[in-house]
Structure 1
Amino acid sequence: MSLRSRLTTAFLVVVLGPVLVGAVFVAAVMSHLADSRGDALASSAVTTVDSTLGTICERIQASAAVVALSHSSGGSADAIDMAQLVVDRRVVDGVVFTGLQDAGATPSPDVGAEAPDGAWVDCGEAAAYAGAGPIVALGAQAEVQNADGTVSVFSAFRVVDRGFLDRIANVADADLVLLDGRSDRLQVGDVDAGRWDATDAFLPLHIGTVATNVTPMYWTLAAMVFVSGLCAMGLAAWLARSTTRPLHELAAAAERVSEGDLDVRVPVHGRDEVAHLALAFNRMTAQTQAYVNALTASRDQMRGQLGRLGQTLTATLDLDRILEVILDTAMVTAGAEAGVVMLVDVDDADQLRQRAGEGDLGVAQPATIRLGEGIVGSIAASGAPAHGRIVDGVFDGRRRADTEPDARTIVAVPFEGRAPAETDEAGAPRTESGVLGVLVLYNRIAGDDFEPGDVDTLRTFAGQASVAVENVLLHRQAQRLSLTDPLTGLWNYRFMQTSLRREAERARRYQRPSALLAIDLDRFKSVNDTYGHPVGDQVLTELARRITGQIREVDLAFRHGGEEFMVLLPETDADGASAVAERLGRSVAARPFKVNDASGGRELRVTVSIGVAVLGEHADTANDVLAAADEALYAAKAAGRDTWRVAV
């Protein structure tokens, strides 16, 4: 092969090789981004549809239950009024009354929309479509045992039509098709959506979301690579054509270039062929250095793009998946062979635990390290980034602990949240300096040391990890707040219904008793009428505090509504529940309630009446045990108040 051919080949390899590798990498990243975005959109749409349908079913169940409760406590007139209220507020489309007779009512005083004929999906504990024809409604029933021995059934429903699907599709930002066997499918949106997923939690739905088409970007990238190749080939041919050079000077200069010294220049003597060779070689090295600088700038730009990728990942709530993506992207960007993301332990704020790991870490179990110990523990405790080489297990005077990865080189960046405290309102564990965790990469590819620029890159990803952790914790806090009563801090009615159903199922399965206490303040209306609602709120808050002070950690206290409270006692029979009721009554009546009204401090004598019912003895379902406890509470009221009674 001639000298010209060898030079041309070498130039093309040096220039086009990184271009092709970069193009393949960019194409892979684009494909990954498109797939990740499609998966995230589809998962979010399915979750939103399931959650929305679940909320609708819960509201239907609650509507049927509250109408039944109104009938039980106030008669058919109250039940009709309550049914009209939930229909007027668009909680349900209609309520069907069965077995209800009253002096002024028809045999079936239905409220709201006419009950449609066809298949209904029951919103009970095992809501599912049995596949028996087109679905026309979602419904739920509540039964009440009348005094004359008859049973009144109250059926609340929502009509399943195009408008119903359209509202769910708007919430989920997706296209929906109802697969219930009808010839003319009920659908909303564009049936040519890019991706389809299915859910049958409550309704057999086909869910369509947008799919990103990256084919035009592939063609653009291919065109850019092709043009770059043509330009490189033209330039290589021009340089090779103008080059004739003695082998000894070419070998010496090439040797220095191969060592990474792109500043080398060949001496120019005169204007003969040797001088022409030197000038050409000098031009070639200058061009190569320019290309290297351009590639470095391109790498920095790619790092910025990957940083924005990390920001998009924080929109999801799967913390472990987010940390894995952040770690994987950071490793690719910095060229690391392995890495970990370690967070402060929830149960021990002085210990770091691995939440994500990639590559060969050299430890059999997920890495753990005490703050201030070993290499990673010391870096996390200091709160300052660090990078360098580990020699004989020692880095910057810190010796590696046995529980952390063994490596040759390291770069680590601690990350912290917005509030430097041991715990924030969302329950996030932190060190005294506010550190939430640390992002660590090990063993740069080809054995090189990590650079200061890698620290800046990891700061971006560590920041995204911090935001991801706090977003997930804030979401959990919001979920917790949605299940608690804002005045007393006790669990609310919604969580009570869920807990009762779960405990009823557990009691049926394992034949173990669980008791329910219904607690009501005696003559609480007179407190509000005499001293005002602010004083009444203080009484309710103090009552909640005394209730929680008399029960176990495993027991659950709820505010049922108004001045009525409920306490669920797992693994407790009637005798045990009676003892708790006696203790609660004494705790309330023993000491006056100190309140502040407009005229200053005041002490109020308060008593409570308590009804006791036991799952497996007085009732087998959540609604039945609630009704039994209420009946026992009314019996305690009738017995003169400030006492308790067990259901019969």
Structure 2
Amino acid sequence: MGLRARLALFFIAITVIPLAVAVIVLQLQLSERLDNVAQRELIASAAASRTAADAFRARAADLATDVAETNAARVLTSGDAAAAERVVTRRLRAPNDRAQILVMADSDGRILGSHFAAPRFADGRSGTVPSDEELAAALKGGEDITGALLEVREVMRPSRRRLGWVAAGIWADQGLLERLPYPGGGAVVVDGEVLAASDPAVAEGSADDLPAPGEIAQLRLAGTSVKATTVALGDEDGARLLLWHTAAPPLRLPGALLGLLVPAVLLAAAVGWVLASGVVAPVERAARVARSVAAGDLDQTLEPSGGRELGALAGALNTMSAELRERLAQLEASRDQLRQSLSRLGQTLSSSLDLDRTLAVVVETAIETLSANRGLLWLFTPERDALYVKVGRGVGQTVARLPVGSGLAGHVARVGVAFRIPADGDSVPFPSDDEPSAPHKLAVPMVGRGRVLGVLTILGDDPERPFSQDDLDTLRSFAAQASVAMENVMLHREAQRLSVTDPLTVLWNFRYFQLQADREMESAARFERPLSLLIIDLDHFKTVNDRFGHQVGDDVLVEVARRIQAATRVPDVVARYGGEEFVVLLPGTGLAGAVSTSERIRAAVSASKVTITTARDVAPLSVTCSIGVAEHPRHGTTVAGLLRSADAAMYLAKTQGRDRVVGAGIDDSSVGGPVGGGEAARR
């Protein structure tokens, strides 16, 4: 075979073979990559959905516990179905995002009270409001209720005998589905029946042979092939959340590419036929270098030879290798930086309950990910009428508060939509003078629990490197994940607060009081500082409950708690002791000062009548109290000892005529006047 033929075949080979191999490899790699991306999205979505569903069930459990601990014992003891109905109706209709179902039943399973929000199931589905028999079976035997996720709490007597059950829950319906994150589609399935679905076509069919929770399988839904997984919303045999992602269609070799290959083959053959033997050696050397570069050996270079044209080819090939080396080094550095940033962010978001640290990592990781210069995270003031900078990196100046609706961050906080400056179009808000200036800005809202929690702003100072729409999309997705962690921290803080406060009076509960009392007792003993304790009991309070009802009694307790709190100092610990009794810890106060403080509290409680807001037909009530005072260590060296001494003094105040203050172990230490007239509270 002659030289021209060999050269032509050579050109044909180096033209067609790499191109065909590249197309085939690209097809295989892209198909595999798309499949992996779909699986990762399903796994992440399943984890996020399970976390969200667990959070919703935890809120329902909180409501069931709250009702069981505050209302249920009294109602179940009396067996009053009307009272039970009022309790569950009031607790479920009150401003509440914790549950849609609330049920109270006695120890025999008899439903005393139940209230349901209307479920939103797909048309024609069997999920309906359950009957009393179904509810009783669910409470007593743990049987599932179609379409409902219940949290059941037992109500026990002090003797540990069961009084009954309180159950709160949510519907596994369209409303729940709309609050869960999923990449492609989602549906709620019970025993193969679709109760709710994001796709109406799926809602009209059935869903059998579903994969087990955590497994990914190929299914056909509504005539479409999808990758799907399931998340157990309750028991393993109960409701499941079906998540799916439409499978990527196989890539096909475009016909236009074949049309280009034919001219390329002919041209290569013509060029190879024309070339003489003088160019064979340089071309072969160039081909070898090119193949080495294509294989990843970017250190290969080609010495110029064979004339000006081949010399230019050698120079271009060498330049290309150098640029590829530089680009590869940049990509590897960027990849390592991104991996470190995301790893740091993931570890922080998944494990930290420190809000300040979490927010700082969010800002720093966002800056590193987008190769930006500066960043700020804005949070709302308590009134939600302005923003302030919670975390700033690279700002370097004091940033004033920004009114909601003013500037870029204020506008994003108001409308809940991300913006990029500069951007195409005229709808971008004008930045405020109170915001840091920069030629390029990104601002995205951080949304949780249905409202904007804050605004993440990223600044770029290089005029030649504007942010792209992809950067905005990346930051938006990043902020969404960070918002979940931020919301979890806030929920943790709220749970901590609720665990130490009395739900009626919003004072500290007795559990918190005991912790503080132990700490203050230890400090008083170590540093020989005075410490006193008060027990406050409302006079004739039983008369109020018996005559006007417990709702009026609750109004009296709330107002008295407010007056006691207002009459004490900031370091004093005011807590509800139980029923109509309150307890106050006075650090740094001896007996004389404690008696003086007690008289101030007694006067504040009886200073004016209590207006009843829940019953218009009840006139304002006069309220008085009796207070017992004890001092450490004179009347006790332990918290229990002080409580006993103060309680004995309080009962002495009762026997001496009420509406007075009595110090423990002191004769004639009572102060205050006789019981006032009118509707007085009685213990």
TM range, normalised to the smaller chain?
0.3 to 0.5
TM-score, normalised by the number of residues in structure 2: 0.43
TM-score, normalised by the number of residues in structure 1: 0.45
